[in-house]
Amino acid sequence: MNAVGDQLRKRGCEVRLYSEEQFGMLDEAGLSEIREMDCVLAMCRSPKCVDMLKRLEDEGMYVVNSGYGIENCRRERMSRILVGHSIPYPVNITVDTDKSMLNILRELNIDKCWIKQADYHSMHKEDVTFVRHAEEAQEVLHEYFLRGIRRAVINAHVIGDLIRFYGVKNIGFFNSFLPMDSRHFSPDDPDTSDEPKEGLDKNKLKELCEQAAEALDVEIYGGDCMLLPNGELMIIDVNDWPSFAPCRKEASSSIARHVLRRIKQIKGGR
């Protein structure tokens, strides 16, 4: 966000930065000042801040990413939207963490799987847990319940090569790579390598990731995709406004250009 702010300033824009806490504490006078701006760029995740973004958007402000898009990237809603748009996604189920799920997991033939907090974005590594069998899954669900997490998404484990991606809508920016810690994603898969297998179609990868971002209504996005042994691609996760850590310089410039282009389009349509 700081890098994007710098890029916008270089292009002659006035930029005001707020922390998530500062934004959440704004009163009507503070919101009135924001309404005088051309757009709001947001990395916030708290329910209160997201509701404020949605309010500003409903009033006609250009908000990127949309508060509605940020909500769509919460695990439960994301799973439902991606499946509903026929985007390849792991077999999954959303559950109450205080219920017994052993029989259901066995019926769905879900053995190794990933348990993820459903209602909000994962903020800690403990919010995403790999388990090796249904009994362990039940134990983890109980731990989630004791931590105050009431709902969880369970995704069947997928074997393949993990690919991390970053993109900016309508600007042509797309970056993908195999993360250094890719092995952690498949801890029991001996064939996980440090290089993607042959058969990766980068154009199809970009197209699939853009389709997922479009379905979720996020303009600035990133996430994880799996290259399966048969060469097919499957989306694992999509994040609104990720860190862009390995490509921050290029991404911040692309985001600034995208935002300015959209502002011009919006003003031109008035």
Q: What is the pTM of this model?
A: 0.87
Task: Judge if 91-156 and 161-245 fold alike in CATH terms.
Answer: no
User: What confidence category does residue 256 fall into, taking pLDDT thresholds of 50, 70 and 90?
Assistant: very high
Q: Could you report the per-residue pLDDT of 221-239, keeping only the tens digit for each? A: 999 999 999 899 999 999 9
Q: Where are the domains of the chain?
A: 2-68+248-268, 91-156, 161-245
Both structure tokens of 101: 């799920």
Give the CATH fold of the 91-156 domain: Dna Ligase; domain 1 (3.30.1490)
Q: What is the per-residue pLDDT across 103-122, written as a single tens digit (0 to 9) for each?
A: 898 888 888 999 999 876 55
Q: How far apart are CA 259 and CA 143, in angstroms?
A: 42
Cα 9 from Cα 154, distance rounded (Å): 43
**What is the pLDDT confidence band of residue 259, given thresholds at 50, 70 and 90?**
very high
pLDDT at residue 269, as a whole number? 59
Q: Indicate the range of 33-47, 83-97, 165-179 predicted with least confidence.
A: 165-179
Whether the predicted pLDDT of 181 surpasses 90: no
CATH number of 161-245: 3.30.470.20
